Structure 1
Amino acid sequence: MNHFLWLDQVQPSHHCIVGEQALSLSKLMQRGFPVAGGVITAIAFEQFRTAIDWLDPLLTDFSQSTLHLESDAKQLQAIARQLRDRIAATPLRADWLPHTWQTPALLLRPQVLHSGASANDWLAPQICWAEPDAIAVALKRVWSEVFRAKSLLFWQRMRSGSPSESHLPLAEIQLAVLVQPISAAIASGRLRLSETEKLLQGQPGLDGISGLTDTILANLLQGSSASPHHLQLNSHDRSPDCLVRTTATAQPILQPSQIQQLMQLAQAIAAEMHSGIEFEWLLTDRFWLTQVRSLSGEVGLPQPSLASDPVWVRGLAASSGQAIGTAWVLNDETIPADLPADAIVIAKRLAIASFHRFSIQGFAIEQGSMTSHSAILARELGIPAIVGAIDATRQIKTGDRVCLDGDRGLLYPVAIDRQLTGKSMTVKPSAPIRAIALSPPHLSPTQPKLMVNMSQAATLETIQSVPIAGIGLLRADLLLLDLLQAPATVSTSIQIKDRIRPFAAALHPRPVFYRSIDRSLQVSGRPLLGLHGTSSYALETSWFQRELLALRQLQQEGYDNLHLLLPFVRTVEEFEYCRSQVEQAGLMQPSFQLWIMAEVPSVLFLLPDYVKAGVQGIAIGSNDLTQLLLGIDRDEPQFAHHTAMHPAVLQAMQQLIQTAQRLNISCSICGQAASQPELIALLVQWGISAISVEPQAIETTAQAIAAHCASRMPIDRKFDFRDFH
């Protein structure tokens, strides 16, 4: 696989493998700003790490286990040295890197993703010649920075929060690498522009690039003494005349016209990002941007500071958007009725059954992952959320004013008198799905159809102008949340029918795959292997029969685009029982299709038998398939690094797709992993029929499908799945 992306190829869906900096630079580049280079994704680092022959038994299972560090400094240094020696000695397959570069040299910058991102300030970058061997050596040196003794201590403390604990989950460290061209540099430096500050710093050559000099530019305060090469622009004086040279003989690094160019560039970037900004610049034949960051994220949204805000809760950014409000810490999993209007819920976990009752600004929970049902529902409701927020219920108290940042996975207190005076305290919701011009859904016979996962009718309006091929997953559990809190009655089928009809009408004649109820999702603290899916239908038939009646009545109204998707099917006998119920309900019309979710591993061995019994298609549920194959609970944050890109899961998905092809039935995928660019490339290669994603991922998934279909290669029968883990 190609683990290198040019910055103009980076899409928002790549965020989890390239990091915030590459994504920011890519956005600016695509808007015409002077940015160049690319990024080596975090998957390359993970692939290389798992390929290392560690020799020492202590480190054999290093990439998939927790390394225990003792307090002995010499032992720590010895471990660090051994780790780095093995990295240096391991050959690097870098045939996925470009063979030619339009520059003599390259700058490689480490970019730690997720909760370790603050390490980017001190992990050393590397400069190398733009030649394959030199790049390989430099790249391994960048990766080795992660395993210096000081780095190992940092990861330990990031994870535990206490020096007394010594559990180091090295397999969770994700590292991308920015690759930027370096030529004869006249000067380099940093520029900071905000409402109250205007600061320009520079040095000859490359010395102004952070990490390449001992001078810490960010700590140079206004009014302090500067080194001979620093240029400082007064906050209130906007003329070039305020440049101060520390000696009468020093030559100016930048001419007034160049300073003016930089300031104009800064103002344009600030306008684009809607905030104050700070960026690093490089001057060759023109100015280039090498790093950029927003100083305030969003206008009116206070930014946290470790120094000023002692409580700092980090988690996984599960649903985008930001909110400022009143913390409400729950003692159990149920959202209460007496919440303030601006409530931000803090809990160990949330029962999704209580979501329908009350409106909340957002939530942070200690349990959960990107694929947990609370995270899925938050994304569709458009409220910010973070999951895996360790100790959030202990560090935050009910009544605290807090800021929840669902884009960066942060929760921190806000001092009203210091940061919120005169500022709005409303939610900045997740970005709406904008109308996009995609290729027609049936561009070619071999191109997978693009479909969407849904459960909330309010979201229908956002996809009206998007040429998707249909709804690949209509989640009954979330669609009928409130109805499921009471026993089924005579009127229940009418209520279900009224909930489904808007989706069938909005998409007609495009297909809508309705996944029937899994009542176990409504049960708090359910066991992973409890009474799930179709196994419950024979024990308690009332809900399933009412669902079938609602579907039949909609068929009779003319909605012949509705199909049934059975959840969590364990055995052929379970399917045969459900099929008999479907036949008795009169649903088996020529236009109707009966599918099953392919999420219980037994389907890998029973698919031919399922097809003989009447299965007409399968939808791979990558979320449950992953946790069942790997024996994990997706609601436990410590397992969040186990994803559908695990080699066992990849092999299972390939087997399902190719078996479906052989049996002449359709195969789709509708889990969270379906929108990952690296997985899309494989799905296209294997010949999947359809890819169904959340509404926010439609645009980037469409672009990824088109790109991979355009360059589709024959399937490599010798493909090594370990390349992805």
Structure 2
Amino acid sequence: MTILYWLDQITPEQQAIVGQKAFSLSQIKRAGYPVVSGFVIPSSTLEEFLFDLHYDFANLNVDDYQALQIFASESRQQILRLTFPEEFLSDILAATSQLCTTSVALRPSLCVSNSLFGDWNQFLSTQFCPCNPSALSLGIKQTWAELFRAKTLFLAQKHQIKPKDLGLGIIVQSSYQAIASGITQISPSSLNIQATWGDELALHQGEVLGDFYRVNRSNGQLETAELGHKIIAYRLKSSRDGLERQLLDEEAQKNYALTNVELHKLIELSFTLVAEYSNLDSFHWTLTESELSTFYLTNLKPYLTYYDKGLILKGLGASPGEAIAPAQIITTHSQNQPQILGGEILVLNSITLEWLPHLKQAAGIILEKGGLTSHGAIVARELGIPAIVGAKQATHLIKTGEFIKIDGETGEVHPAFPRDIQSQVDVKTFLPTYPLGTQLLVNISQKETLVQISGLPIDGVGLLRSELFFGELLQTRPLLTWLRQYKSELQAKLLALLEPVSRVFSPKPVFYRSLNWYALELESYLEPLQRETKIRQEFFSLELQTLLNLRKQLNYNINLLLPFVRSVEEFQDYYQQVKQIGLLHQESFQIWIMAEIPSVIFMLPEYVAAGVQGISIGTNDLSQFLLGINRDKSYIPPELTVKHPAIKKAIKQLIESAKQNNIPCSICGQLPVDYPEIIPDLIRWGIQSISVEPRALEKTYWAIARAEQSILLEMARKMK
């Protein structure tokens, strides 16, 4: 007898065989939320049928596009030729008869053993079929065959995953004709709703620009309602299986997919859901044709997981992701510091320079102090490890060796057990469907990050930080000793940092930010030398010579970004050194400054006249200086966040001033990541590039894409 799992009866222990999507839907269904009834064909069923298939995945060269396509096609054909035992089909038919429906939706639900490959369910298509033996048999095999698409195989081999290790459950649900469907995305300040006619396949494939609504989370008010560009819709066929692509008539194109009453119901559902599941990033929904016109939930992100709900403490989520590992308490003033083996969750009062290198081996970090834009939080986000800041008394509430689970999204720490441990590496892989007009750049501080981002559609490196790199060096010997006795070795180490980054991105631009002598994390090492002009000039010359070598000898497109420039005269001193060393004679070389000191807002024309060729708006420090806040503090009054109108006005003025002075303008920092709703404004004002940390690349890509499409649509309507 075939073992099936009904959605309203799935237990936490069954998550591994039904898949993440199925488990999440089962949990919210049991909590009373609207989910269509159904059951799950577990991954063990697929494993039984795949056992006799023959394919040589290990020797497949996925970089050979033709060979990959042939392999994918042959593998899918093997699955489609499978013959199901009569007992299996009769069990499936018996279960579908309990759904009291004539057709079903077959939704793939990946059963992942780790989070290395993110959410691949987005690459797997839902099948629709009538409830008869031949159609169900074909539909199930087609769903399984989705695992062997070329794009899935490509990603699997790049991450050294065998297809059989993915595991795939199938959610079988009654299918209803969809009036409308869409996605609700959740940001700290708003609910952002996309809606289209019929099934959401049109949105998923980029064939329509959905209606867009923005709802203020603080007061529930609808702030924005933009009519989309909806020409087609996918609906169930009346007499045959599957979805049918239909052209919409002119009236449907001119109307919103949701009525005011329906929109109000969806907003109510959204607020209720977010209140109970605070870590939700987004959820998918369908409005069905029924007497009550019900909104059904079809997917959640991130997926819900099971764990002991005992809460140890709660801080601020500073770097998303989850980790289960033993804790390692580190007290800053202890004489005998513990040996860090790697894979622990580090618990500290605050991040000091000597502990930054250990983050590379950590499963996660918990800090009693620090803010969302503190250096420890920034490095954690770049490394892709979960981090919590502002976790008061963490070093007292948690014991070394205790297994804990941290959630870098919600800021919660829970007890855990060794059996719960999973690989926690999280590499975001996304496949864009069209190019962007606004450049998407990445912020990094170490060459190890290149593994995560190589091959992604990035236009270059907007910010290559040097503080972490130099911090590690200064722990071994003072800067003055490096310059006087080990200067050539120092330059070789800097070259070893810059060369791999420049090579991977060549011929795309890389902007190296020279050492910030006022960086808080380097203060104890550099403060005695801050007034030593000759030493600073000598060190800056070493940085410039390294850039020159990379450009002259290897022809890499590496450029200079100056931090913390406080006056035009200070820039002129830097400019003279750059000129003397010969970098200005290098073709396409650019010298930019960070626009993080408020005086740049008012003095940009003078900076341009002095030789500045571009600016990068550093929102983290700019907001700190404009509002008089300390970004290392875990508590910042809500009225003094980067959403303050003064910040927005300053950014707008900088972008417009850059346009007037004919220089490029980029923006980096947490503002466009934490508040993506500002991205349409940035593009309208004339921003040319947005630079974010690796974990935010996918989120920012889609935010830019939607903003650009909306702006183009606005322009098209005005031209009519």
Question: Taking structure 2 as the reference length, what is the TM-score of the superposition?
Answer: 0.59
Residue equivalent to 2:474: 484
Q: C-alpha separation between the residues in 2 aligned to 1:351 and 1:7?
A: 49
Query: Helix, strand or coil for the counterpart of 1:304?
Result: coil
How far residue 111 of structure 1 moved from its aligned partner, in angstroms, is 5.7
How far residue 631 of structure 1 moved from its aligned partner, in angstroms, is 0.6
How far residue 515 of structure 1 moved from its aligned partner, in angstroms, is 0.4
1:289 counterpart = 2:461: no
CA RMSD of aligned residues (A): 4.3
Q: Is the 8 A contact 2:283 2:297 kept in 1?
A: no
Aligned residues: 486
Residue equivalent to 2:357: 356
Residue equivalent to 1:386: 388
Q: C-alpha separation between the residues in 2 aligned to 1:27 and 1:319?
A: 30
Query: Helix, strand or coil for the counterpart of 1:711?
Result: helix
Residue equivalent to 2:432: 437
Greater shift in the superposed pair: 628-637 or 334-343: 334-343
Q: C-alpha separation between the residues in 2 aligned to 1:499 and 1:398?
A: 34
List aligned pairs for 1:77-156, cutoff 5 A: 96=225, 100=256, 102=258, 105=262, 106-107=264-265, 108-109=267-268, 120=276
How far residue 408 of structure 1 moved from its aligned partner, in angstroms, is 2.9
Q: Is the 8 A contact 2:327 2:398 kept in 1?
A: yes
Letter in 1 for 2:551: Q
CA 1:537/1:624 → structure 2, altered by over 3 Å: closer, same or farther? farther
Q: C-alpha separation between the residues in 2 aligned to 1:715 and 1:604?
A: 30
CA 1:656/1:637 → structure 2, altered by over 3 Å: closer, same or farther? same
Match of 1:304 among 304, 308, 311: 308
Residue equivalent to 1:327: 327
Identical-residue share of aligned pairs (%): 34
How far residue 110 of structure 1 moved from its aligned partner, in angstroms, is 6.9
CA 1:340/1:492 → structure 2, altered by over 3 Å: closer, same or farther? closer
1:460 counterpart = 2:450: yes
Q: Is the 8 A contact 2:592 2:615 kept in 1?
A: yes
List aligned pairs for 1:203-602, cutoff 5 A: 284=292, 288-290=295-297, 297-298=304-305, 303-305=307-309, 309=310, 311-332=311-332, 336-357=337-358, 359-414=361-416, 416=417, 420=418, 423-429=419-425, 431-434=426-429, 436-437=431-432, 439-440=434-435, 447-485=437-475, 486=477, 487=479, 488=482, 489-490=486-487, 491-521=489-519, 523=521, 540-589=536-585, 590-602=587-599
Q: C-alpha separation between the residues in 2 aligned to 1:22 and 1:45?
A: 16
How far residue 40 of structure 1 moved from its aligned partner, in angstroms, is 6.3
Residue equivalent to 1:276: none
How far residue 652 of structure 1 moved from its aligned partner, in angstroms, is 0.2
Q: Is the 8 A contact 1:21 1:291 kept in 2?
A: no
Residue equivalent to 1:617: 614
How far residue 656 of structure 1 moved from its aligned partner, in angstroms, is 0.3
Residue equivalent to 2:73: none
Query: Helix, strand or coil for the counterpart of 1:678?
Result: helix
What do residues 59-105 of structure 1 show as CA deviations (whole Å, max 9, x unaligned)? xxxxxxxxxxxxxxxxxxxxxxxxxxxxxxxxx77563778554555
CA 1:541/1:360 → structure 2, altered by over 3 Å: closer, same or farther? same
CA 1:681/1:570 → structure 2, altered by over 3 Å: closer, same or farther? same
Query: Helix, strand or coil for the counterpart of 1:368?
Result: coil
Q: Is the 8 A contact 2:446 2:497 kept in 1?
A: no
How far residue 532 of structure 1 moved from its aligned partner, in angstroms, is 12
CA 1:362/1:21 → structure 2, altered by over 3 Å: closer, same or farther? farther
CA 1:689/1:660 → structure 2, altered by over 3 Å: closer, same or farther? same
CA 1:537/1:368 → structure 2, altered by over 3 Å: closer, same or farther? farther
How far residue 439 of structure 1 moved from its aligned partner, in angstroms, is 3.3
CA 1:479/1:702 → structure 2, altered by over 3 Å: closer, same or farther? same
Q: Is the 8 A contact 1:563 1:594 kept in 2?
A: yes
Residue equivalent to 1:650: 648
How far residue 539 of structure 1 moved from its aligned partner, in angstroms, is 5.9
CA 1:333/1:639 → structure 2, altered by over 3 Å: closer, same or farther? farther
Greater shift in the superposed pair: 363-372 or 501-510: 363-372
- Considering fraction of residues, name the structure with more helix: 2
Q: C-alpha separation between the residues in 2 aligned to 1:179 and 1:109?
A: 15
How far residue 360 of structure 1 moved from its aligned partner, in angstroms, is 1.8
List aligned pairs for 1:18-33, cutoff 5 A: none
CA 1:21/1:665 → structure 2, altered by over 3 Å: closer, same or farther? closer
Q: C-alpha separation between the residues in 1 aligned to 2:501 and 2:312?
A: 41
Q: C-alpha separation between the residues in 2 aligned to 1:533 and 1:626?
A: 27
Q: Is the 8 A contact 1:112 1:176 kept in 2?
A: no
Greater shift in the superposed pair: 707-716 or 341-350: 707-716
Residue equivalent to 1:253: none
CA 1:175/1:97 → structure 2, altered by over 3 Å: closer, same or farther? farther
CA 1:8/1:484 → structure 2, altered by over 3 Å: closer, same or farther? farther
Letter in 2 for 1:614: G
Q: Is the 8 A contact 1:21 1:293 kept in 2?
A: no
Q: C-alpha separation between the residues in 2 aligned to 1:714 and 1:100?
A: 15
CA 1:180/1:466 → structure 2, altered by over 3 Å: closer, same or farther? closer
Structure 1 gap ranges (5+): 1-5, 50-91, 122-172, 187-283, 717-725
Q: Is the 8 A contact 2:450 2:501 kept in 1?
A: yes
Structure 2 gap ranges (5+): 1-179, 228-254, 716-720
Q: Is the 8 A contact 1:352 1:373 kept in 2?
A: no
CA 1:535/1:180 → structure 2, altered by over 3 Å: closer, same or farther? farther
How far residue 714 of structure 1 moved from its aligned partner, in angstroms, is 12
What do residues 31-72 of structure 1 show as CA deviations (whole Å, max 9, x unaligned)? 89xxxx999656x245x69xxxxxxxxxxxxxxxxxxxxxxx
Q: C-alpha separation between the residues in 1 aligned to 2:466 and 2:667?
A: 17
Q: Is the 8 A contact 1:109 1:177 kept in 2?
A: no
Query: Helix, strand or coil for the counterpart of 2:546?
Result: helix
What do residues 608-632 of structure 1 show as CA deviations (whole Å, max 9, x unaligned)? 1111111111000011111111110
Q: C-alpha separation between the residues in 2 aligned to 1:532 and 1:474?
A: 25
Question: Taking structure 1 as the reference length, what is the TM-score of the superposition?
Answer: 0.59
Query: Helix, strand or coil for the counterpart of 1:543?
Result: helix
How far residue 553 of structure 1 moved from its aligned partner, in angstroms, is 1.4
Residue equivalent to 2:28: none
Q: C-alpha separation between the residues in 1 aligned to 2:447 and 2:414?
A: 33
What do residues 161-207 of structure 1 show as CA deviations (whole Å, max 9, x unaligned)? xxxxxxxxxxxx99999998989976xxxxxxxxxxxxxxxxxxxxx
